[in-house]
Amino acid sequence: MTPFKFNSSELLISPKELVQLLGEKMDTLWKAQPKATNAEWTRQVKGFLREIAQGLSNLEPDVKIEVLYTNAAPDTHEFLLDLVWWCRRGEPVKTEFMALAAEIEWASFWWGSPGESLGNHVRDRVGEDFGKLTVVKSPIKLMIFCTDKSGPERTHEPIQRIVLDEIDRYLRAYAHHIPGEAYVLLDVATDGNRKAWIRTVDDVGILSALKVLM
């Protein structure tokens, strides 16, 4: 018997619409700043998610969405996750809930430690960040990463598989999946050819197989 499930009213946007809106904003960034740094991409993506939250607030005036995030600048506030949407729904029933939890990890396409394999680096960095998402309560848990082309055929699939396998390792081991939650995995890809996947939890707490979302 599961002790908790997400209310449909806590799902402010569908996972597919979320990645579509993010993708449109990312396309604009690609064109405007083709050589943007990782730090700039992180800053911009957080801004995109803030803009999407503001748009949702305009559609649902009874919901106030506070966007909380980690600031990468020295001596500034640190938050558990890279970004969350913390929501407050007003009268007649005042409730607070998290509508989105997001982690951003660009280390899936470069590494700098001598002697360290790219595969091990990706597993360590992605696993460290994704592990945080498993333990928070949010109907949408968004993991954003970026792969480069690799292998003899020079495609994104080898690194995508490493990332997805590491995420699967965390999900299979975690015992407290909540009905109604969705794990959304978005590969920004260095050539801009984005791909997204989703895994959802059904009414009895069973995690679905990986499905292509975009």
Higher-confidence position of 121 and 9:
9
Q: How far is CA 15 from the centre of its chain?
A: 10
Average pLDDT of the residues in 152-169: 90
CB of 184 within 8 A of CB of 19?
yes
Look at residue 69 and tell me whether its pLDDT is greater than 60: yes
E strand or H helix that includes residue 38: helix 38-59
Is residue 142 classed as helix, strand or coil in its secondary structure? Answer: strand
**pLDDT value of residue 107:** 67
E strand or H helix that includes residue 126: helix 118-135
**pLDDT value of residue 77:** 56
Gyration radius from the chain CA atoms: 17
Higher-confidence position of 33 and 92:
33
Mean pLDDT of the chain: 87
**pLDDT value of residue 106:** 85
Of 179, 181, 212, residue with least CA distance to 198? 212
**pLDDT value of residue 78:** 56
Beta bridge partners of 185: 143, 197
Look at residue 111 and tell me whether its pLDDT is greater than 50: no
Terminal-residue alpha carbon distance, the chain:
33
Give the pTM: 0.90
Look at residue 13 and tell me whether its pLDDT is greater than 70: yes
Look at residue 2 and tell me whether its pLDDT is greater than 60: no
Higher-confidence position of 63 and 125:
63
Orientation of helix 157-173 relative to helix 118-135, angle to 10°: 40
The pLDDT > 70 percentage for the chain reads 88
Beta bridge partners of 68: 84
**Contacts (Cβ under 8 Å, ≥6 apart) of 182:** 15, 139, 140, 141, 198, 199, 200, 201
**pLDDT value of residue 84:** 96
Average pLDDT of the residues in 112-137: 78
